[in-house]
Structure 1
Amino acid sequence: MVSAPAIEEVYNPTGVIQHLYEQYEGSDDEFPAVVASHFSAILFNTDDRASELPSLDIHHPPEAYTNGTLVRFRAMVQDTALSPELYVAKLNNHQCGGWGLSTSNSSEASGNVGYQDLQELTTLWAVSVPAESPWHAEDASPLVSSFPAHVPLRPYKFPIPDVPHIGIQIKMYDNQSSQFLKATDVVTFVGILSSEPVYTEFSSPSEAPVLHVICHQSTPESLPDIKEPCSVRRELICWISEHVLGGDDLAVEWLLLQLSSKVHTRSAAFLPPSLTLSRFPPPPHPNTLPTLSYALSELLRTYTPVPLSLELLNTKSFTPESREEDLHSGYLQLPAGTTILLTESALREGKVTEKGLMNIRAIQEMMNSQTLDYTFPFSRFTFETDISTIVLVESRKSTFFETSLNIPLQSTVGRNLYRSKEEVAWPSPGKLAVFRSYIKACKAAIGKVSVSEATSKVCSLSTH
């Protein structure tokens, strides 16, 4: 149930905006910041009332709601290069425009519109958070009901092919705050849902869901409080070793190091290591995922396996590319903190095309520098990433990649490394939650550990 102080904002957001507009005496171009500040104070406070709003996700698609519903959409920003739009900021009789109001009051806006009544808004394209593990998605949006499968308008704007997701155009009226958003940012948008024609430069308009954002918040990174972290670490290593990696404690130690790392600093190139687990037994059947993949999906918030094959490398895009003024996504356009598992068991002899070589180069560059190229018709831009990479190979090293670490797996259990999810002896829900929090805490603590001046002096003296 939505908290009482937020009821009016939830059920009559346009009325609240109009009331704020009647009280406001400043310039129209500054009013969107007033709206954002008002709703943020109510919805993104310590009570996190935004989480009580109706959610936009694959279980609650846009067609499940009527136009004008205030919803939240936890999403990844996919495209920030969409053209800005003009909207009528002031309607007749001192009525507020924007946030879909100028569309719903089209009869009032149909008269003569002065140039001074027009304002510019920022448009983005956002998608469901790619590679998000089901358990974390359900935590962010509890599964209440189900609707027919949503068919996204532009599936090519989602990084992982053939995965159910929501894609929606975002309209942001607070242009100053929107300037800080960049591709792959994970953001909770709160806005008024509508359905409008969406235009591109080289295609006819298509009806698409649109979210008129009233406020937003980037996903905060908290530092979980872990009691007895050393004990938790030992338990986690023992569980992964026994049930996932065939008793190889050393390999688990290196794996855990890799899972708990992230970009610390770029100036000194302190980046997360890439890891190869070599001598990994082949699967009993083609395309069978290792048990490790199921374990990672239960431990990490964002994770995706990528079974490499020549067909995948030669035909799919791993980097974003603009085609006809529309940014198509690629496998590697993923939010910071994502872990990918590259498996080479499906690779066979054959020819690697130019596209395949470009994809291999993009993966290697991401491992080495944590950057990803976005290709446009006459230019190429490099964006920063923070993605951890694990490579599984049957031989002593990877066919295509040079990783920071190469750990030969010391296991004799063979087929047990490919047990299905149902065959795994999972920890209790409470213990699994502790394992997840431990890995999250290790990542969040990077760069936040301070050394006292006294300790620094002792360390300095011990080196002389």
Structure 2
Amino acid sequence: MVAVHAISEIADPRKVIQRIYDDDDDRLDGQCIHRLPSAVTKHFSDLFLRADDPRALDQLPSLDVSHPPESYTCGTLVRFRAMIQDTSLQNEMYLAKLSNDRCGGWGIQPAHGDRNFNVFDSDSLGTASIFWAVSVPAESPWRAAGFSRLDSTSFPVHQSSQPHKFPIPGAPHIGVRIKIYDSAGVENLHSTDVVTFVGIASSEPLSMEDDSSPEVPVLHVLCYQVDSASPIPANVDPSVREHVIKWISSEALGGDDDAAEWVLLQLTSKVHTRAIPLLPPSLTISRFPQPSSTDLIPTLSHVFTELIPQHLLIPLSLDLLNKTPFLPESKEEDLHSGYLQLPTGTTILLTESALQEGKLLETGITSVRAIQDVMNSQTVEYIFPFSSKFSFHTGLSMIVLSEGRKSAFFQTSVNVPLQCSSTTASLYKPKDELSLPPAEKIAIYRSYIVACKALSEKVQITEETSKHIQDDFVRRRQQDKSVTPDELIHLMKVARLLAASRLQDEVTIDVWEQAKELDRRRRVSIV
């Protein structure tokens, strides 16, 4: 239900902006225009971005694939949860002070006389920051539904005028030009940030200098908030862990509980620190049988879609690697997206079943290197002409399914050979054949994974356990000179994730021994 005090703001937000301007007692001093953007931001933030009422945003219609820009009239107040794709667009000057004591900006159209550049001075100008934002790529349907309206419009599927600015080729999405008038904090917005914008929907030509330029959706932003980490759920039962492992194992991994446990550790990992560094591991599930048909999707992908907020399946082939960009690249001052321009927290499942003999071209080699860079350093390069490549931090979880003893292209942190105890038919079940737990139970599974992920960066190693680990490593080195410090670092990462998966905030001696045993079974099965 719409709050009474918000009705006028929703019905005519530009009228409200003028009212805020009129209410400034010192508006005639020439500085009111420069104070107005922050006043507008505060006013609408207090209404719709309230910490004490997270559902206040639900009062506003949402801009999404089911409710495309063309389903709203110009001037409608909407919310748009999106990923920032391009921050390199030029800022825009606008008339901030119009005739008859009217304010400008936010798509308010100046009168004809106001367009005469001889009638105003520099104090009448304002600057809007321009971004391009797209629907959150790889977002699971249940997650998207939590931020969108349940009804849908009768409009046909939205056709983006800039499809090259979305990371996933051919996927339905919304692309919008974002205009932010309040400069405070804009420098903290970065590519791949997920942001909820509240603004006035409009449209304008893609290029103001070309009469034949197509129209693009525009959002004149009134306020916004950057997505923060999900709050840690309270009272999550650690026993949920075994239920999640069993479900993943039975539904998607042919009954292999060990493989399912490694998958769980992968899903709950995140970047802890880059200084040491403590980065998410990368995982190969090897000896994964090929599907009977190339169009079949691994059941594991369906399971991920139900468990985690953001998941992307990439069926690797030579054709895909050679022709489809994985890295963002600026072409003629326009940033084209790539598969790896994704929000932090996305889990990517790479399948190698469609790889055939052939030649990997230059683009394909670049793509493989880009994926390996994410695995090794959690960075993605952005390619700009006539300049060096720029690497930006990311936080993507990578899992590879390989038919062979190891991945054909990638060196992952962990290689777990699949050992099916049941028919392999379950590895490629259609989504409608997935045996889903009841809705309330799957919600508990999701909360459990969120809790584990949040805890994974806080796990400590007690002094007693640290001494035990050191003594254990020295003893192993004495018995086997091939044991390296890298193996110790690997086991410590596994132990941290294992502790977090048990909802424990410290690595105990018991957890350390269990981590060693889990890793030992994996190594034995590789031989």
TM-score range, shorter-chain basis?
A: over 0.9
Match of 1:390 in 2: 399
In 2, the alpha carbon distance for the partners of 1:15 and 1:228 equals: 47
Q: Relative CO higher for 1 or 2, CA cutoff 8 Å, sep ≥ 6? A: 1
Q: Aligned to 2:92, which of 85, 88, 95?
A: 85
Deviations 1:328-368 (A, max 9, x none): 00000000000000000000000100110000000000110
Q: Helix, strand or coil: the match of 2:368? A: helix
Match of 2:14 in 1: 14
Q: Helix, strand or coil: the match of 1:364? A: helix
Match of 1:47 in 2: 53
Match of 2:252 in 1: 244
Match of 1:405 in 2: 414
Q: Helix, strand or coil: the match of 1:187? A: strand
Are residue 434 (structure 1) and residue 444 (structure 2) matched?
yes
In 2, the alpha carbon distance for the partners of 1:316 and 1:8 equals: 47
Structural mapping, 1:111-126, within 5 Å: 111=116, 112-126=119-133
Match of 1:100 in 2: 107
Q: Over the residues paired in the alignment, what is the CA RMSD in angstroms?
A: 1.9
Q: Aligned to 2:177, which of 169, 184, 189?
A: 169
Are residue 281 (structure 1) and residue 281 (structure 2) matched?
no
Provide the TM-score with structure 1 as the length reference. Answer: 0.95
On the 8 A contact 2:21/2:32 being kept in 1, the answer is: no
In 2, the alpha carbon distance for the partners of 1:108 and 1:19 equals: 22
Q: Helix, strand or coil: the match of 1:342? A: strand
Q: Helix, strand or coil: the match of 1:376? A: coil
Q: Gapped runs of 5+ residues in structure 1?
A: none
Residue 443 of structure 2 aligns with an amino acid whose one-letter code is A
Q: Helix, strand or coil: the match of 1:247? A: coil
More displaced 10-residue stretch of structure 1: 10-19 or 222-231? 222-231
Are residue 3 (structure 1) and residue 11 (structure 2) matched?
no
Q: Alpha-carbon deviation of 1:178?
A: 1.5
Pick the structure with greater CA Rg: 2
Match of 2:298 in 1: 290
Q: Helix, strand or coil: the match of 2:46? A: helix
Deviations 1:243-288 (A, max 9, x none): 2111111111110000001111111111001000001011011131
Q: Alpha-carbon deviation of 1:321?
A: 0.3
In 2, the alpha carbon distance for the partners of 1:220 and 1:152 equals: 28
Structure 1's 399 and 387: CA in aligned 2 closer, same or farther, altered over 3 A?
Answer: same
On the 8 A contact 1:202/1:324 being kept in 2, the answer is: no
Q: Aligned to 2:135, which of 128, 133, 136?
A: 128
In 2, the alpha carbon distance for the partners of 1:100 and 1:291 equals: 47
Structural mapping, 1:139-288, within 5 Å: 139-146=146-153, 147-199=155-207, 205-288=213-296
In 2, the alpha carbon distance for the partners of 1:201 and 1:110 equals: 16
Residue 420 of structure 1 aligns with an amino acid whose one-letter code is P
Identity value in percent: 53
Q: Helix, strand or coil: the match of 1:289? A: coil
On the 8 A contact 2:266/2:281 being kept in 1, the answer is: yes
Q: Alpha-carbon deviation of 1:325?
A: 0.7
- Structure 1 runs (4+) greater than 4 angstroms displaced: 200-204, 455-464
Deviations 1:405-427 (A, max 9, x none): 00001104222211111112111
Residue 421 of structure 1 aligns with an amino acid whose one-letter code is K
Q: Alpha-carbon deviation of 1:69?
A: 0.4
On the 8 A contact 1:201/1:324 being kept in 2, the answer is: no
Match of 2:71 in 1: 64
In 1, the alpha carbon distance for the partners of 2:291 and 2:124 equals: 65
Residue 90 of structure 1 aligns with an amino acid whose one-letter code is K
On the 8 A contact 2:85/2:192 being kept in 1, the answer is: yes
Q: Helix, strand or coil: the match of 1:59? A: coil
Structure 1's 143 and 108: CA in aligned 2 closer, same or farther, altered over 3 A?
Answer: farther
Residue 67 of structure 1 aligns with an amino acid whose one-letter code is C
Q: Alpha-carbon deviation of 1:456?
A: 5.7
Residue 408 of structure 1 aligns with an amino acid whose one-letter code is P
Q: Helix, strand or coil: the match of 1:411? A: coil
Deviations 1:395-447 (A, max 9, x none): 10011000000000110422221111111211111111111111122222333
Residue 438 of structure 1 aligns with an amino acid whose one-letter code is Y
More displaced 10-residue stretch of structure 1: 210-219 or 432-441? 432-441
On the 8 A contact 1:287/1:307 being kept in 2, the answer is: no
Aligned residues: 458
Q: Alpha-carbon deviation of 1:461?
A: 8.2
On the 8 A contact 2:236/2:447 being kept in 1, the answer is: no
Deviations 1:107-155 (A, max 9, x none): 3523423222011111000000000011111111032122211111100
Structure 1's 458 and 275: CA in aligned 2 closer, same or farther, altered over 3 A?
Answer: closer
